[in-house]
Amino acid sequence: MSTSGNTYRFRKMEGLGNDFVIFDAREHDLTLSDDAVRHIADRKRGVGCDQLIVMRGCQDADIFMEIRNADGSRVGACGNATRCVGRLMLDETGKEAVTIRTDAGLLGATRADTGISVNMGPARLAWSEIPLAEVQDTANIAFELDGLLNPVGVNMGNPHAVFFVDDAEAIDLKTLGPKIEHDVLFPERVNVSVAHVKDGIIRQRVWERGVGITDACGTGACAGLVAAARRGLTGRKATVMLDGGPLEIEWLEDGTVQMTGAATLAYTGEIVL
């Protein structure tokens, strides 16, 4: 991976506009400080991305995927990045299915007609699993801020609060997102979604913790479908329409969530670290 001295190759990939800088550290180790991640993620001074991914060798899976947000923080799961890394490993190995180890658990990826399909693991629904700072009914959390109220809590490897509203487009998510993300009710911070359901399709916008408003959030889409099903607004399978495009989400009977969508290689490059 290291081409000369401190120059490193990377891939730039995206899933519905949620974009990633991906390093392969299997042959040459790579350790990045939070400052280095922020520099690489900066869209004016670095490469620019929502998340930075480091692929590492793994004994019990085809690959280990380390996930860092644009602010340098490490997170357990990222659905769109999992599809991108899944595509890379499917191409590399020639297998019909690959496994990806993350901080949140072991995930599987396969090819699908519309891109890459990934099982994102179980939807965790207990208040202590979100987590929340106090005991709550996670299907109807007692929380209100400027007209947003009673979200559904879902953990898909990272915490989500999904607010159902009359019109997701009308919500000032740029202002309300960071306030909710850092509220004391969410001790590990939280990803914030606003959504409405029309004609069986979930229209969802996402404020991603450590990133901001994002074109697409895979775990957010999974959380949105689970939240809508818990409220009786949809069945256990639906299209989630994000700013960047659609994801097909299904909450399987075993409690895990299947996500299918695009995973695109934009370009490859080199960066001096």
pLDDT at 44 over 50: yes
In whole angstroms, give the CA distance from residue 131 to residue 239: 27
Query: Is the same domain home to 142 and 222?
Result: yes
**Which whole-number Å values give the CA distances from 49 to 158, 170, 250, in the listed order?**
19, 26, 27
* Segments forming the whole domain that contains residue 12: 2-120+261-272
Query: Is the same domain home to 198 and 236?
Result: yes
Query: Is the same domain home to 175 and 229?
Result: yes
pLDDT in tens, 165-178: 999 999 999 999 99
In the chain, the amino acid numbered 157 is: G
pLDDT at 225 over 70: yes
pLDDT in tens, 183-223: 999 999 999 999 999 999 999 999 999 899 999 999 999 99
DSSP 170: G
Query: Is the same domain home to 147 and 92?
Result: no
| CATH code assigned at 31 | 3.10.310.10
In the chain, the amino acid numbered 92 is: E
Query: Is the same domain home to 33 and 108?
Result: yes
Residue 177: phi and psi, rounded to 5, are -55, -55
Confirm if 53 and 81 have CB atoms less than 8 A apart. Answer: yes
pLDDT in tens, 113-134: 989 999 999 999 999 999 999 9
pLDDT at 3 over 80: no
Regarding pTM above 0.85, the answer is yes
Give the pair of three-digit tokens for residue 142.
Answer: 């007692």
In whole angstroms, give the CA distance from residue 149 to residue 207: 16
**Per-residue pLDDT at 27:** 86
Helix (H) / strand (E) element for 44: namely: none
In whole angstroms, give the CA distance from residue 38 to residue 273: 12
- Identify the burial level of 150 via C-beta atoms within 10 angstroms of its C-beta, where 0-12 means exposed, 13-18 middle and 19 or more buried: middle
Catalytic residues: 78, 217
Query: Is the same domain home to 113 and 196?
Result: no
- In 3D, which of 206, 217, 214, 226 has the Cα closest to residue 247? 217
Query: Is the same domain home to 132 and 184?
Result: yes
Query: Is the same domain home to 85 and 143?
Result: no
Question: Distance between alpha carbon 271 and the CA centroid of its chain, in Å?
Answer: 25
The residues pairing with 154 across neighbouring beta strands, listed in sequence order, are 160
Query: Is the same domain home to 147 and 115?
Result: no
Query: Is the same domain home to 203 and 100?
Result: no
Query: Is the same domain home to 135 and 98?
Result: no
The arithmetic mean of pLDDT across residues 85-109, rounded, is: 96
- In 3D, which of 256, 260, 255, 173 has the Cα closest to residue 218? 260
Query: Is the same domain home to 132 and 242?
Result: yes
Please state the domain count of the chain: 2
**Per-residue pLDDT at 28:** 85
